[in-house]
Amino acid sequence: MKKVLIIGIGAGDPEYVTMQAIRALNEVDVFFILDKGREKQDLVDLRREICDRYIEGDSYRLVEVRDPERDRTATAYRSAVEDWRRRRADVYETLIREELGRDGCGAFLVWGDPSLYDSTLAIIHEILARETVEFTFEVIPGISSIQALAAKHRIALNRVGRPVHITTGRLLSEGFPEGADDVVVVLDADCTFRTIAEDGIDIYWGAYVGTKDEILVSGDVKSVMDDIDRIRGEARTRKGWIMDTYLLRRTRR
């Protein structure tokens, strides 16, 4: 039967790839790579570099397809995401059906960790639910941007007896999560940390963490938020896209 591997490749540094992931890479016949456009060619190049570095031999193939566009202007956020996932599922289903032999092994190389704010697992489950193509799948974990951020800032995410809250910029815009002292924020397109009005909150921010373009800033959020906004804007102009993560930490209540 066909098999699909969902391999976490870490947050940017090729050396984040685990030994388990390297073993999995060497099982694969076909790698499915999504082209997100010229601006994000770096992400495609990194996947190619990982294959070149860690795969023994050259018996594998790379199949590159255009990633369906997502409507980021839609007011109905959930419906827009569901529509985008359905279109992605159509692409993935076609790849698995047409590019894999009866006993072939295909793989999606997932930035960071497949279990954290990535659509691949949900899409694979949707394809299986359609019952139009048969395959098994396995998940190989990776180092997430959150782990990399904490390591680069040399901090622990949790404090004794306290939870860590992980959310998105869209949800943070509704306010600092009630009862939380340590909040990790991903997928923030709008520097939502600027909306946090209360005193006594530090930020540990990172962009392109684990890559040659890595930028790190930390300090009291009110003191450094203008610097982060400026640095972020300059980086986005230079590269055409931004990928950042940050921790907000309440220092006093």
Mean pLDDT by 10 residues, the chain (253 residues): 97 95 98 81 89 94 88 74 90 96 96 93 96 97 96 94 92 91 94 89 96 95 95 91 94 68
pLDDT for res 253: 52
Q: What topology is assigned to 146-250 in CATH?
A: 3.30.950
- Residue intervals of the chain classified under CATH 3.40.1010.10 are 2-143
Q: What topology is assigned to 2-143 in CATH?
A: Cobalt-precorrin-4 Transmethylase; domain 1 (3.40.1010)
Residue 172, phi-psi category: left (phi > 0), alpha (psi -120 to 50), beta (remainder): alpha
pTM: 0.91
58 CB-near residues (< 8 Å, 6+ apart): none
pLDDT for res 252: 63
- Residue intervals of the chain classified under CATH 3.30.950.10 are 146-250
Cα separation, 122 vs 111, in Å, equals 15
pLDDT for res 39: 65
